[in-house]
Amino acid sequence: MRLTERQRVLDALLQSTHGLWHPQPFREIRPQWSSEQPALAAELLALDDGAAEQLNHDGQAASHLLAKYFPEIAELPVLSEMPAHVAAPLIEHGSRWAWEIPGRKQSQIEAFAAAARPADLPVLDWCAGKGHLGRLLALQWQLEVTSLEIDPILCEAGEQLAAKGRVRQKFACNNALTVTDAFEPGQHAVALHACGDLHRRLITGGSAAGVARFDIAPCCYYRGVADVYQPLSASLKTTLTRDDTRLAVTETVTASPRLTRQRDKEMAWKLGFDTLRRELSEDSAYRSFKPVPPAWFRGDFTQFANLMAQRENLIVPSANLLAGFEQRGWQRQREVMRLSIVRHAFRRPLEIWLVLDLACYLEQQGYAVKIGRFCERQLTPRNLLISAQY
């Protein structure tokens, strides 16, 4: 299916299912879909812990479950599947090129380098950090690389690594959002995990300046989104708030059992306090609160709730009253984990919608564009690579 066609079909499906992925069970105790589809809500609420955890992590399995109630959702996994890029074998550079790179990051960089294709053009490495990707590409492709990065400490460290490895790589210490002389016609721009407005600036600024090729693995799409995501490619039907845009990148693939327990406790305590606040203030609407200092979770629930109550200007309740709210927090945490499976089925489809917006924009500027996976999800869930050539 052509990218524009896929975009049109996915856009229509996401628009028509907005009521499933937009409501956050953390805020809305029972999202509206649960009264329209009580059997679905009952099936989810009856899941045991293991099944709930598994469905929260496996979007495709969650889509299959949802499709029993909303048959049109059966299309979602197909629309969200992208092929793997064909990896070209890398030349052996020994371990020296990879000084200082954590193992997982090194594997991501190598996978990116194996999936992108050289074009015998000068390379611009966008939002480069210490320029590890640029350094590998300079070696691999035997081309000159300019690595653009805002942080002078990272630029200096990168320059030292480049000198040590004797590679043709220089650094431009600059702000990607405001720089005016970074793009040149006939460049090959690469970006590994440049966040939100940083990858969008590369695409709009670079295509306007005549950059010949792009290889971009985007991440953190919500960065730089004020209230509502502004599509680049067309007037689309689906509207994403900043929070919806964030949903596209909320899954983790590496949480240890200890971190999972900590996450559950923090959620249960916040929900316990939310229940308390709703009752004490007789205001049943969800009110967001400022981020909670991690140290507040180190004591017990009574201490936590007292600190929160003081901060939110509520009369501090008695210890007797508080005990019940901790229990109710855990009860709501259990429910939130299960009801959230519905929106979690849409994480990857929302990401694909965002990536299609970037890719279709590039097509409109005259590029031939491909989207594929440059590595498996276990290495990084932000594993989509947009490759465009003029």
| Contact window for ligand SAM (CB under 6 A) among 85-93, 128-136, 207-215, 372-380 | 128-136
Q: Which residues pair with 389 in a beta bridge?
A: 213, 368
Q: Phi and psi for 125 in degrees, rounded to 5?
A: -100, 110
Nearest-angstrom CA–CA distance, 54 and 62: 9
If binding is defined by CB under 6 A, does position 192 make contact with ligand SAM?
yes
Contact 125, 148 (CB under 8 A): yes
**Residues 233 to 252 in contact with ligand SAM, rule: CB under 6 A:** none
If binding is defined by CB under 6 A, does position 177 make contact with ligand SAM?
yes
If binding is defined by CB under 6 A, does position 144 make contact with ligand SAM?
no
Nearest-angstrom CA–CA distance, 385 and 285: 41
- 35-62: buried (b, 16+ CB within 10 Å) or exposed (e) per residue? eebeebbeebeebeeeebeebbbbbebb
Q: Please list, in sequence order, all residues whose beta carbon lies within 8 angstroms of the beta carbon of residue 22, skipping any fewer than 6 positions away.
A: 241, 244, 343
Q: Which residue, 236, 179, 260, 180, is CA-closest to 12?
A: 236
Minimum gap (Å) between residue 224 Cβ and ligand SAM: 10
Q: Which is nearer to ligand SAM, 103 or 257 (CB)?
A: 103
Of positions 175, 239, 260, 303, contacts ligand SAM by CB under 6 A: 175
Minimum gap (Å) between residue 116 Cβ and ligand SAM: 13
Q: Which is nearer to ligand SAM, 141 or 301 (CB)?
A: 141
Q: Which is nearer to ligand SAM, 219 or 240 (CB)?
A: 219
Of positions 14, 111, 124, 133, contacts ligand SAM by CB under 6 A: 133
Nearest-angstrom CA–CA distance, 309 and 382: 38
Of positions 31, 77, 129, 206, contacts ligand SAM by CB under 6 A: 129
Minimum gap (Å) between residue 233 Cβ and ligand SAM: 23
Q: Which is nearer to ligand SAM, 40 or 211 (CB)?
A: 211
Q: Which is nearer to ligand SAM, 67 or 173 (CB)?
A: 173
Q: Which is nearer to ligand SAM, 204 or 331 (CB)?
A: 204
- Two structure tokens written together for 294: 């991690």
If binding is defined by CB under 6 A, does position 113 make contact with ligand SAM?
no
Minimum gap (Å) between residue 132 Cβ and ligand SAM: 6
Write out the DSSP string of 296-332: GGSS-HHHHHHHHHHHTT-PPPPHHHHHHHHHHHHHH
- As a three-state string, the secondary structure of 366-385 is CCEEEEEECCCCCCCCCCEE
If binding is defined by CB under 6 A, does position 151 make contact with ligand SAM?
yes
If binding is defined by CB under 6 A, does position 132 make contact with ligand SAM?
yes
Minimum gap (Å) between residue 330 Cβ and ligand SAM: 35
Of positions 127, 161, 352, 375, contacts ligand SAM by CB under 6 A: 127
Minimum gap (Å) between residue 383 Cβ and ligand SAM: 13
If binding is defined by CB under 6 A, does position 159 make contact with ligand SAM?
no
Contact 89, 110 (CB under 8 A): no
Q: Phi and psi for 69 in degrees, rounded to 5?
A: -105, -30
Of positions 20, 136, 198, 384, contacts ligand SAM by CB under 6 A: 198
Name the helix (H) or strand (E) containing 168. Answer: none
What is the contact surface with ligand SAM in residues (CB under 6 A)?
Answer: 105, 127-129, 132-133, 149-151, 154, 175-177, 192-194, 198
